[in-house]
A and B are shown apart, each in its own frame.
Chain A
Amino acid sequence: MTSDTLPPKPKRFLWIWLLFAALVLILIARNLEINFTTLIWGYQDIIEYFSRYGRPDFSEWRHYSALMLQTIAIAFWGTVLAFAIGFALAPFASLALTPGKISHQTARETLNFLRAVPDLMLALIFVSSIGLGPLPGILALGFHTGGFLGKFFSESLDRVPHGKYDAIAAVGANFPQRVMFAGWPSVMRETAGYTLYIFDRNVRMSSVLGLVGAGGIGLELHDTLRLFNYNQATALILFLIGTIFSIDYLSTFVRSKLK
Protein backbone atom coordinates (compact mmCIF):
# COMPACT_ATOMS: atom_id res chain seq x y z
CA MET A 1 0.00 0.00 0.00
CA THR A 2 1.51 3.33 -1.03
CA SER A 3 1.15 6.43 1.00
CA ASP A 4 -1.38 8.17 -1.30
CA THR A 5 -3.91 5.37 -0.92
CA LEU A 6 -3.99 5.84 2.84
CA PRO A 7 -6.92 7.82 4.21
CA PRO A 8 -6.07 11.29 5.54
CA LYS A 9 -4.99 11.47 9.14
CA PRO A 10 -7.93 12.35 11.37
CA LYS A 11 -7.84 15.86 12.73
CA ARG A 12 -7.92 16.11 16.49
CA PHE A 13 -8.78 19.16 18.46
CA LEU A 14 -7.53 17.86 21.80
CA TRP A 15 -5.46 20.96 22.54
CA ILE A 16 -8.34 23.29 21.89
CA TRP A 17 -10.53 21.28 24.25
CA LEU A 18 -7.85 21.24 26.94
CA LEU A 19 -7.41 24.99 26.63
CA PHE A 20 -11.15 25.47 26.87
CA ALA A 21 -11.31 23.29 30.01
CA ALA A 22 -8.47 25.24 31.62
CA LEU A 23 -10.22 28.52 30.85
CA VAL A 24 -13.47 27.27 32.40
CA LEU A 25 -11.62 26.10 35.50
CA ILE A 26 -9.90 29.46 35.91
CA LEU A 27 -13.24 31.21 35.60
CA ILE A 28 -14.70 28.88 38.21
CA ALA A 29 -11.83 29.55 40.62
CA ARG A 30 -12.36 33.28 40.09
CA ASN A 31 -16.05 32.95 40.72
CA LEU A 32 -15.55 30.93 43.92
CA GLU A 33 -12.96 33.49 45.06
CA ILE A 34 -10.38 30.78 45.53
CA ASN A 35 -6.81 31.90 45.35
CA PHE A 36 -4.30 29.10 45.18
CA THR A 37 -1.34 31.41 45.61
CA THR A 38 -2.38 32.19 49.18
CA LEU A 39 -2.42 28.45 49.73
CA ILE A 40 1.18 28.22 48.58
CA TRP A 41 2.36 31.25 50.55
CA GLY A 42 0.63 30.03 53.70
CA TYR A 43 2.38 26.67 53.68
CA GLN A 44 4.10 27.40 57.00
CA ASP A 45 0.76 27.98 58.69
CA ILE A 46 -0.55 24.79 57.16
CA ILE A 47 2.41 22.78 58.43
CA GLU A 48 2.03 24.38 61.85
CA TYR A 49 -1.68 23.52 61.88
CA PHE A 50 -1.18 19.91 60.94
CA SER A 51 1.59 19.54 63.53
CA ARG A 52 -1.10 20.04 66.17
CA TYR A 53 -2.40 16.61 65.22
CA GLY A 54 0.93 15.08 66.23
CA ARG A 55 0.07 13.61 69.61
CA PRO A 56 -2.90 11.27 69.63
CA ASP A 57 -4.64 10.94 72.98
CA PHE A 58 -6.09 7.46 73.39
CA SER A 59 -7.14 7.88 77.04
CA GLU A 60 -10.85 7.43 76.24
CA TRP A 61 -10.48 4.43 74.01
CA ARG A 62 -13.31 2.54 75.74
CA HIS A 63 -15.73 5.26 74.83
CA TYR A 64 -14.42 5.37 71.27
CA SER A 65 -14.69 1.63 70.75
CA ALA A 66 -18.29 1.66 71.98
CA LEU A 67 -19.07 4.44 69.50
CA MET A 68 -17.22 2.61 66.72
CA LEU A 69 -19.21 -0.55 67.43
CA GLN A 70 -22.42 1.44 67.20
CA THR A 71 -21.23 2.93 63.91
CA ILE A 72 -20.56 -0.51 62.46
CA ALA A 73 -23.93 -1.75 63.74
CA ILE A 74 -25.67 1.17 61.98
CA ALA A 75 -23.87 0.31 58.75
CA PHE A 76 -24.81 -3.35 59.18
CA TRP A 77 -28.49 -2.65 59.72
CA GLY A 78 -28.50 -0.13 56.91
CA THR A 79 -27.06 -2.76 54.59
CA VAL A 80 -29.69 -5.28 55.68
CA LEU A 81 -32.44 -2.77 54.92
CA ALA A 82 -30.81 -1.92 51.59
CA PHE A 83 -30.60 -5.59 50.70
CA ALA A 84 -34.29 -6.04 51.49
CA ILE A 85 -35.21 -3.08 49.26
CA GLY A 86 -32.95 -4.23 46.45
CA PHE A 87 -34.20 -7.80 46.74
CA ALA A 88 -37.81 -6.69 46.52
CA LEU A 89 -37.46 -4.17 43.69
CA ALA A 90 -34.73 -5.64 41.45
CA PRO A 91 -36.88 -8.33 39.75
CA PHE A 92 -39.39 -5.66 38.76
CA ALA A 93 -36.66 -3.32 37.52
CA SER A 94 -34.94 -6.03 35.50
CA LEU A 95 -36.01 -5.97 31.86
CA ALA A 96 -35.70 -9.74 31.46
CA LEU A 97 -37.92 -10.69 34.39
CA THR A 98 -40.38 -7.85 34.86
CA PRO A 99 -44.04 -8.83 34.61
CA GLY A 100 -45.11 -5.65 32.83
CA LYS A 101 -43.94 -2.36 31.38
CA ILE A 102 -45.59 -0.22 34.05
CA SER A 103 -44.05 -2.12 36.95
CA HIS A 104 -40.67 -1.93 35.21
CA GLN A 105 -40.87 1.85 34.88
CA THR A 106 -42.17 2.35 38.42
CA ALA A 107 -39.46 0.20 40.00
CA ARG A 108 -36.71 1.87 37.99
CA GLU A 109 -37.87 5.38 38.79
CA THR A 110 -38.16 4.49 42.48
CA LEU A 111 -34.60 3.20 42.49
CA ASN A 112 -33.41 6.30 40.63
CA PHE A 113 -35.10 8.54 43.15
CA LEU A 114 -33.55 6.68 46.09
CA ARG A 115 -30.11 6.99 44.53
CA ALA A 116 -30.44 10.65 43.62
CA VAL A 117 -31.04 12.01 47.12
CA PRO A 118 -27.73 12.05 49.06
CA ASP A 119 -27.80 9.91 52.20
CA LEU A 120 -26.85 12.73 54.55
CA MET A 121 -29.77 14.75 53.25
CA LEU A 122 -32.05 11.79 53.87
CA ALA A 123 -30.54 11.54 57.35
CA LEU A 124 -31.29 15.23 57.95
CA ILE A 125 -34.89 14.70 56.92
CA PHE A 126 -35.28 11.58 59.04
CA VAL A 127 -33.61 13.17 62.07
CA SER A 128 -35.88 16.17 62.01
CA SER A 129 -38.95 14.01 61.49
CA ILE A 130 -38.45 11.07 63.88
CA GLY A 131 -35.88 12.42 66.31
CA LEU A 132 -32.21 11.85 67.16
CA GLY A 133 -30.58 8.45 67.50
CA PRO A 134 -29.30 5.62 65.32
CA LEU A 135 -32.65 4.75 63.72
CA PRO A 136 -32.77 7.73 61.30
CA GLY A 137 -29.20 6.88 60.31
CA ILE A 138 -30.17 3.29 59.53
CA LEU A 139 -33.17 4.40 57.50
CA ALA A 140 -31.16 6.97 55.53
CA LEU A 141 -28.37 4.54 54.70
CA GLY A 142 -30.82 1.77 53.92
CA PHE A 143 -32.96 3.79 51.53
CA HIS A 144 -30.07 5.44 49.71
CA THR A 145 -27.98 2.31 49.20
CA GLY A 146 -31.13 0.29 48.54
CA GLY A 147 -31.38 2.32 45.35
CA PHE A 148 -27.83 1.29 44.41
CA LEU A 149 -28.30 -2.38 45.29
CA GLY A 150 -31.58 -2.55 43.37
CA LYS A 151 -29.86 -1.17 40.29
CA PHE A 152 -26.85 -3.50 40.58
CA PHE A 153 -29.08 -6.54 41.22
CA SER A 154 -31.36 -5.78 38.30
CA GLU A 155 -28.36 -5.35 36.00
CA SER A 156 -26.93 -8.71 37.01
CA LEU A 157 -30.36 -10.32 36.61
CA ASP A 158 -30.38 -8.92 33.07
CA ARG A 159 -26.96 -10.39 32.33
CA VAL A 160 -28.09 -13.96 33.07
CA PRO A 161 -28.51 -15.97 29.83
CA HIS A 162 -32.18 -15.66 28.98
CA GLY A 163 -32.46 -19.37 28.26
CA LYS A 164 -32.72 -20.02 31.98
CA TYR A 165 -35.77 -17.80 32.32
CA ASP A 166 -37.35 -19.25 29.17
CA ALA A 167 -36.73 -22.80 30.37
CA ILE A 168 -38.40 -22.30 33.70
CA ALA A 169 -41.24 -20.30 32.14
CA ALA A 170 -41.81 -23.15 29.68
CA VAL A 171 -42.64 -25.54 32.52
CA GLY A 172 -45.31 -23.14 33.71
CA ALA A 173 -43.60 -21.05 36.40
CA ASN A 174 -45.25 -17.75 37.35
CA PHE A 175 -43.42 -14.51 38.13
CA PRO A 176 -42.34 -15.20 41.75
CA GLN A 177 -41.30 -18.72 40.84
CA ARG A 178 -39.21 -17.47 37.95
CA VAL A 179 -37.53 -14.97 40.23
CA MET A 180 -36.90 -17.40 43.06
CA PHE A 181 -35.85 -20.46 41.05
CA ALA A 182 -34.14 -18.96 37.98
CA GLY A 183 -33.25 -15.39 38.89
CA TRP A 184 -31.62 -15.30 42.32
CA PRO A 185 -29.77 -18.65 42.22
CA SER A 186 -27.93 -17.57 39.05
CA VAL A 187 -26.69 -14.27 40.49
CA MET A 188 -26.02 -15.35 44.09
CA ARG A 189 -22.27 -14.66 44.04
CA GLU A 190 -22.50 -11.29 42.35
CA THR A 191 -25.23 -10.31 44.80
CA ALA A 192 -23.05 -11.20 47.77
CA GLY A 193 -20.15 -9.21 46.27
CA TYR A 194 -22.26 -6.11 45.71
CA THR A 195 -23.73 -6.33 49.20
CA LEU A 196 -20.27 -6.51 50.73
CA TYR A 197 -19.17 -3.54 48.69
CA ILE A 198 -22.19 -1.58 49.91
CA PHE A 199 -21.48 -2.60 53.51
CA ASP A 200 -17.99 -1.26 53.05
CA ARG A 201 -19.33 2.03 51.76
CA ASN A 202 -21.91 2.19 54.55
CA VAL A 203 -19.29 1.88 57.28
CA ARG A 204 -17.50 4.86 55.72
CA MET A 205 -20.74 6.84 55.52
CA SER A 206 -22.10 5.92 58.95
CA SER A 207 -18.99 7.38 60.55
CA VAL A 208 -20.11 10.84 59.43
CA LEU A 209 -23.85 10.42 60.02
CA GLY A 210 -23.32 11.64 63.58
CA LEU A 211 -22.79 15.13 62.19
CA VAL A 212 -26.52 15.52 61.73
CA GLY A 213 -27.35 13.67 64.95
CA ALA A 214 -27.99 10.24 63.49
CA GLY A 215 -25.80 8.26 65.88
CA GLY A 216 -22.29 6.88 65.63
CA ILE A 217 -18.82 8.31 65.98
CA GLY A 218 -19.26 11.38 63.74
CA LEU A 219 -20.72 13.63 66.43
CA GLU A 220 -17.76 12.99 68.74
CA LEU A 221 -15.31 13.93 65.98
CA HIS A 222 -17.25 17.09 65.20
CA ASP A 223 -17.30 18.10 68.87
CA THR A 224 -13.61 17.49 69.49
CA LEU A 225 -12.68 19.56 66.42
CA ARG A 226 -14.97 22.36 67.52
CA LEU A 227 -13.40 22.39 70.97
CA PHE A 228 -9.91 22.33 69.36
CA ASN A 229 -9.05 19.06 71.13
CA TYR A 230 -6.63 18.12 68.40
CA ASN A 231 -5.10 15.24 70.37
CA GLN A 232 -8.44 13.51 70.81
CA ALA A 233 -9.39 14.28 67.23
CA THR A 234 -6.22 12.58 66.04
CA ALA A 235 -7.03 9.53 68.14
CA LEU A 236 -10.54 9.41 66.68
CA ILE A 237 -9.29 9.80 63.12
CA LEU A 238 -6.72 7.06 63.64
CA PHE A 239 -9.45 4.85 65.10
CA LEU A 240 -11.59 5.52 62.02
CA ILE A 241 -8.77 4.87 59.56
CA GLY A 242 -7.88 1.62 61.34
CA THR A 243 -11.43 0.29 61.38
CA ILE A 244 -12.36 1.30 57.84
CA PHE A 245 -9.03 0.07 56.50
CA SER A 246 -9.46 -3.36 58.07
CA ILE A 247 -13.09 -3.70 56.96
CA ASP A 248 -12.07 -2.61 53.46
CA TYR A 249 -9.32 -5.21 53.42
CA LEU A 250 -11.60 -7.92 54.78
CA SER A 251 -14.35 -7.27 52.27
CA THR A 252 -11.88 -7.16 49.36
CA PHE A 253 -10.51 -10.49 50.56
CA VAL A 254 -13.96 -12.10 50.83
CA ARG A 255 -14.99 -10.67 47.44
CA SER A 256 -11.88 -12.09 45.78
CA LYS A 257 -12.74 -15.46 47.36
CA LEU A 258 -16.26 -15.24 45.94
CA LYS A 259 -15.06 -14.90 42.35
Chain B
Amino acid sequence: MLLLVVSANLVEFSFMHIIRSGRPFIDFMQNLLVMPDWVFMPQLLTKMLETVEITLLATAIALVISFPLGILAAKNASPCPLIFNVTRNLLSVIRSLPELVWALVFVSALGLGPLPGVMALAVVTVGFMGKFFAESIEVVGENAVEGIQAHGANRLQVIWYSMLPQAMPDFIGSLLYILDHNLRAAAILGLVGAGGIGYDMVMSMRLFNYNRIILIVMSIYLLVTLLDRLSVRLRMKLIHGQAREALQ
Protein backbone atom coordinates (compact mmCIF):
# COMPACT_ATOMS: atom_id res chain seq x y z
CA MET B 1 0.00 0.00 0.00
CA LEU B 2 2.82 2.34 0.94
CA LEU B 3 4.52 1.51 -2.33
CA LEU B 4 1.35 2.43 -4.18
CA VAL B 5 1.15 5.84 -2.52
CA VAL B 6 4.82 6.62 -3.09
CA SER B 7 4.76 5.57 -6.73
CA ALA B 8 1.52 7.45 -7.37
CA ASN B 9 3.45 10.67 -7.03
CA LEU B 10 6.02 9.46 -9.52
CA VAL B 11 3.51 8.80 -12.27
CA GLU B 12 1.44 11.90 -11.49
CA PHE B 13 -1.43 9.60 -10.75
CA SER B 14 -4.47 10.97 -9.02
CA PHE B 15 -8.12 10.15 -9.09
CA MET B 16 -8.90 13.76 -9.95
CA HIS B 17 -6.83 13.30 -13.07
CA ILE B 18 -8.78 10.21 -14.05
CA ILE B 19 -12.11 11.88 -13.45
CA ARG B 20 -11.05 14.99 -15.32
CA SER B 21 -9.88 12.92 -18.28
CA GLY B 22 -13.22 11.18 -18.55
CA ARG B 23 -14.75 13.98 -20.56
CA PRO B 24 -12.06 14.22 -23.29
CA PHE B 25 -12.16 10.45 -23.53
CA ILE B 26 -15.89 10.43 -24.20
CA ASP B 27 -15.45 13.23 -26.74
CA PHE B 28 -12.77 11.22 -28.47
CA MET B 29 -14.89 8.11 -28.55
CA GLN B 30 -17.72 10.11 -30.10
CA ASN B 31 -15.34 11.07 -32.87
CA LEU B 32 -14.87 7.38 -33.62
CA LEU B 33 -18.56 6.92 -34.35
CA VAL B 34 -18.26 7.76 -38.03
CA MET B 35 -18.85 5.98 -41.28
CA PRO B 36 -15.74 3.95 -42.10
CA ASP B 37 -13.72 5.16 -45.06
CA TRP B 38 -14.28 2.37 -47.58
CA VAL B 39 -11.85 3.88 -50.12
CA PHE B 40 -9.10 2.95 -47.67
CA MET B 41 -10.10 -0.73 -47.87
CA PRO B 42 -7.63 -1.99 -50.57
CA GLN B 43 -4.67 -0.35 -48.82
CA LEU B 44 -5.83 -1.75 -45.50
CA LEU B 45 -5.99 -5.25 -46.94
CA THR B 46 -2.48 -5.11 -48.41
CA LYS B 47 -1.13 -3.78 -45.11
CA MET B 48 -2.88 -6.48 -43.13
CA LEU B 49 -1.47 -9.09 -45.50
CA GLU B 50 1.97 -7.59 -44.93
CA THR B 51 1.48 -7.84 -41.16
CA VAL B 52 0.52 -11.50 -41.41
CA GLU B 53 3.46 -12.20 -43.70
CA ILE B 54 5.90 -10.54 -41.29
CA THR B 55 4.50 -12.68 -38.50
CA LEU B 56 4.83 -15.94 -40.45
CA LEU B 57 8.31 -15.23 -41.81
CA ALA B 58 9.70 -14.10 -38.45
CA THR B 59 8.22 -17.09 -36.65
CA ALA B 60 9.61 -19.51 -39.22
CA ILE B 61 13.12 -18.03 -39.03
CA ALA B 62 12.99 -18.07 -35.24
CA LEU B 63 11.77 -21.68 -35.26
CA VAL B 64 14.79 -22.82 -37.26
CA ILE B 65 17.25 -20.94 -35.03
CA SER B 66 15.69 -21.71 -31.66
CA PHE B 67 15.36 -25.45 -32.24
CA PRO B 68 19.08 -26.22 -31.73
CA LEU B 69 19.40 -23.45 -29.12
CA GLY B 70 16.52 -24.95 -27.14
CA ILE B 71 18.22 -28.35 -27.13
CA LEU B 72 21.48 -26.77 -25.96
CA ALA B 73 19.67 -24.85 -23.22
CA ALA B 74 17.88 -27.91 -21.79
CA LYS B 75 19.62 -29.30 -18.74
CA ASN B 76 19.21 -32.97 -19.70
CA ALA B 77 20.05 -32.61 -23.39
CA SER B 78 22.91 -30.11 -23.25
CA PRO B 79 26.38 -31.55 -23.89
CA CYS B 80 28.03 -29.82 -20.92
CA PRO B 81 27.04 -27.45 -18.08
CA LEU B 82 29.08 -24.58 -19.51
CA ILE B 83 27.20 -24.59 -22.83
CA PHE B 84 23.93 -24.94 -20.94
CA ASN B 85 24.63 -21.86 -18.83
CA VAL B 86 25.88 -19.78 -21.74
CA THR B 87 22.84 -20.48 -23.96
CA ARG B 88 20.43 -20.03 -21.04
CA ASN B 89 21.79 -16.59 -20.23
CA LEU B 90 22.06 -15.62 -23.89
CA LEU B 91 18.38 -16.38 -24.33
CA SER B 92 17.56 -14.35 -21.20
CA VAL B 93 19.45 -11.31 -22.47
CA ILE B 94 17.73 -11.53 -25.86
CA ARG B 95 14.36 -11.75 -24.15
CA SER B 96 14.94 -8.82 -21.84
CA LEU B 97 14.68 -6.20 -24.61
CA PRO B 98 11.18 -5.70 -26.01
CA GLU B 99 10.70 -6.20 -29.75
CA LEU B 100 10.11 -2.52 -30.33
CA VAL B 101 13.55 -1.63 -29.02
CA TRP B 102 15.08 -4.23 -31.34
CA ALA B 103 12.95 -2.80 -34.13
CA LEU B 104 14.24 0.71 -33.37
CA VAL B 105 17.82 -0.51 -33.59
CA PHE B 106 17.23 -2.54 -36.76
CA VAL B 107 15.32 0.28 -38.44
CA SER B 108 18.22 2.64 -37.89
CA ALA B 109 20.61 -0.06 -39.15
CA LEU B 110 18.74 -1.40 -42.19
CA GLY B 111 16.36 1.40 -43.10
CA LEU B 112 12.58 1.45 -43.24
CA GLY B 113 10.46 -1.44 -44.49
CA PRO B 114 9.44 -4.92 -43.45
CA LEU B 115 12.98 -6.35 -43.21
CA PRO B 116 13.90 -4.75 -39.85
CA GLY B 117 10.47 -5.78 -38.54
CA VAL B 118 11.07 -9.40 -39.49
CA MET B 119 14.55 -9.32 -37.96
CA ALA B 120 13.41 -7.72 -34.69
CA LEU B 121 10.50 -10.08 -34.30
CA ALA B 122 12.66 -13.11 -35.13
CA VAL B 123 15.31 -12.15 -32.58
CA VAL B 124 12.86 -11.72 -29.71
CA THR B 125 11.00 -14.87 -30.71
CA VAL B 126 14.25 -16.87 -30.61
CA GLY B 127 14.65 -15.74 -27.00
CA PHE B 128 11.17 -16.88 -26.01
CA MET B 129 10.88 -19.99 -28.14
CA GLY B 130 14.33 -21.26 -27.14
CA LYS B 131 13.32 -20.99 -23.50
CA PHE B 132 9.97 -22.71 -24.01
CA PHE B 133 11.59 -25.52 -26.01
CA ALA B 134 14.24 -26.04 -23.36
CA GLU B 135 11.63 -26.18 -20.64
CA SER B 136 9.50 -28.72 -22.48
CA ILE B 137 12.55 -30.92 -23.11
CA GLU B 138 13.50 -30.74 -19.43
CA VAL B 139 10.20 -32.22 -18.24
CA VAL B 140 10.49 -35.24 -20.55
CA GLY B 141 10.04 -38.64 -18.82
CA GLU B 142 13.19 -40.53 -17.88
CA ASN B 143 11.90 -44.02 -18.81
CA ALA B 144 12.02 -43.59 -22.56
CA VAL B 145 15.44 -41.95 -22.33
CA GLU B 146 16.85 -44.86 -20.32
CA GLY B 147 15.21 -47.36 -22.63
CA ILE B 148 16.92 -45.87 -25.66
CA GLN B 149 20.22 -45.60 -23.81
CA ALA B 150 20.01 -49.29 -22.88
CA HIS B 151 20.00 -50.09 -26.59
CA GLY B 152 23.33 -48.36 -26.91
CA ALA B 153 22.16 -45.12 -28.46
CA ASN B 154 24.54 -42.21 -28.46
CA ARG B 155 23.63 -38.74 -27.22
CA LEU B 156 22.19 -37.45 -30.50
CA GLN B 157 20.08 -40.56 -30.95
CA VAL B 158 18.73 -40.24 -27.42
CA ILE B 159 17.69 -36.66 -28.10
CA TRP B 160 16.21 -37.44 -31.51
CA TYR B 161 14.31 -40.63 -30.70
CA SER B 162 13.24 -40.21 -27.08
CA MET B 163 13.29 -36.57 -26.00
CA LEU B 164 11.95 -34.76 -29.05
CA PRO B 165 8.92 -37.02 -29.71
CA GLN B 166 7.84 -36.62 -26.09
CA ALA B 167 8.29 -32.86 -26.12
CA MET B 168 6.49 -32.42 -29.46
CA PRO B 169 2.95 -31.62 -28.18
CA ASP B 170 4.43 -29.02 -25.85
CA PHE B 171 6.46 -27.57 -28.73
CA ILE B 172 3.37 -27.17 -30.84
CA GLY B 173 1.48 -25.57 -27.97
CA SER B 174 4.15 -22.94 -27.41
CA LEU B 175 4.53 -22.39 -31.15
CA LEU B 176 0.84 -21.54 -31.41
CA TYR B 177 1.08 -19.24 -28.40
CA ILE B 178 4.05 -17.46 -29.94
CA LEU B 179 2.33 -17.11 -33.29
CA ASP B 180 -0.53 -15.42 -31.47
CA HIS B 181 1.82 -13.09 -29.63
CA ASN B 182 3.80 -12.28 -32.78
CA LEU B 183 0.74 -11.27 -34.76
CA ARG B 184 -0.10 -8.75 -32.06
CA ALA B 185 3.49 -7.52 -32.01
CA ALA B 186 3.68 -7.25 -35.81
CA ALA B 187 0.58 -5.09 -35.78
CA ILE B 188 2.41 -2.42 -33.78
CA LEU B 189 5.89 -2.72 -35.29
CA GLY B 190 4.95 -0.16 -37.92
CA LEU B 191 5.01 2.44 -35.16
CA VAL B 192 8.77 2.76 -35.61
CA GLY B 193 8.63 2.27 -39.39
CA ALA B 194 9.22 -1.47 -39.50
CA GLY B 195 6.40 -2.40 -41.87
CA GLY B 196 2.86 -3.59 -41.29
CA ILE B 197 -0.38 -1.91 -40.35
CA GLY B 198 1.06 0.04 -37.38
CA TYR B 199 2.39 2.86 -39.54
CA ASP B 200 -1.04 3.55 -41.05
CA MET B 201 -2.49 3.49 -37.56
CA VAL B 202 -0.11 6.18 -36.29
CA MET B 203 -0.49 8.28 -39.40
CA SER B 204 -4.28 8.29 -39.33
CA MET B 205 -4.14 9.04 -35.61
CA ARG B 206 -1.94 12.08 -36.28
CA LEU B 207 -4.10 13.27 -39.14
CA PHE B 208 -7.32 12.69 -37.17
CA ASN B 209 -8.65 10.32 -39.85
CA TYR B 210 -11.14 8.74 -37.48
CA ASN B 211 -12.91 6.91 -40.29
CA ARG B 212 -9.66 5.03 -40.97
CA ILE B 213 -8.74 4.40 -37.33
CA ILE B 214 -12.01 2.62 -36.70
CA LEU B 215 -11.38 0.34 -39.69
CA ILE B 216 -7.81 -0.47 -38.61
CA VAL B 217 -8.75 -1.19 -35.01
CA MET B 218 -11.64 -3.39 -36.04
CA SER B 219 -9.58 -5.36 -38.56
CA ILE B 220 -6.75 -5.99 -36.07
CA TYR B 221 -9.29 -7.10 -33.50
CA LEU B 222 -10.94 -9.46 -35.99
CA LEU B 223 -7.65 -10.96 -37.15
CA VAL B 224 -6.32 -11.54 -33.63
CA THR B 225 -9.60 -13.08 -32.50
CA LEU B 226 -9.69 -15.33 -35.56
CA LEU B 227 -6.17 -16.60 -34.91
CA ASP B 228 -6.96 -17.04 -31.22
CA ARG B 229 -9.98 -19.25 -31.95
CA LEU B 230 -8.08 -21.19 -34.58
CA SER B 231 -5.13 -21.84 -32.27
CA VAL B 232 -7.42 -23.00 -29.45
CA ARG B 233 -9.03 -25.55 -31.79
CA LEU B 234 -5.69 -26.68 -33.23
CA ARG B 235 -4.22 -27.04 -29.76
CA MET B 236 -7.17 -29.16 -28.62
CA LYS B 237 -6.83 -31.38 -31.65
CA LEU B 238 -3.04 -31.76 -31.68
CA ILE B 239 -2.26 -32.00 -27.99
CA HIS B 240 -5.26 -33.95 -26.77
CA GLY B 241 -5.40 -36.02 -29.95
CA GLN B 242 -1.83 -37.14 -29.43
CA ALA B 243 -2.38 -37.77 -25.75
CA ARG B 244 -5.24 -40.12 -26.63
CA GLU B 245 -3.05 -41.92 -29.13
CA ALA B 246 -0.34 -42.43 -26.53
CA LEU B 247 -2.85 -43.87 -24.08
CA GLN B 248 -4.05 -46.57 -26.45
Contacts and interface: CB of A to CB of B under 8 A. Distances in A.
Interface residues of A, number: 57
A207 interface: yes
B53 A73 contact: no
Q: How large, as a class, is the contact surface on chain B?
A: 35 or more
B217 interface: yes
Contacts of B53: 28, 31-32
Given A117-B220, A208-B101, A241-B96, A77 B13 contact: yes
A257 B100 CA distance: 32
Contacts of A138: 11, 13
B71 to A, nearest CB: 19
Interface in B97-117: 97-98, 100-101, 104-105, 108-109, 113-115
Contacts of B92: 245, 248
B98 A70 contact: no
B220 A32 contact: no
Q: Does more than half of chain A's interface fall in helix, strand or loop, or is it mixed?
A: helix
Nearest to A113: B221
B77 interface: no
Contacts of A21: 60
Given A32-B195, A133-B12, A237 B101 contact: yes
A240 interface: yes
B183 to A, nearest CB: 9
Contact of B7 (A73, A125, A212): A73
Contacts of A180: none
Contact of A135 (B18, B97, B104): B18
B62 interface: no
Contacts of B198: 120
17 contacts: A28-B57, A32-B114, A32-B118, A74-B11, A77-B11, A118-B184, A121-B188, A121-B217, A129-B24, A129-B28, A135-B13, A204-B98, A211-B192, A225-B104, A241-B97, A244-B97, A248-B96
Interface of B: 3-4, 7-8, 10-13, 17-18, 21, 24-25, 27-29, 49-50, 53-54, 56-57, 60, 92-93, 95-98, 100-101, 104-105, 108-109, 113-115, 118, 184-185, 187-188, 191-192, 195, 198, 201-202, 205, 217, 220-221, 224-225, 228
Given A128-B28, A135-B12, 15 more contacts: A25-B57, A34-B114, A80-B4, A115-B224, A116-B220, A116-B224, A116-B228, A118-B187, A121-B217, A124-B202, A129-B24, A134-B13, A225-B108, A237-B97, A245-B93
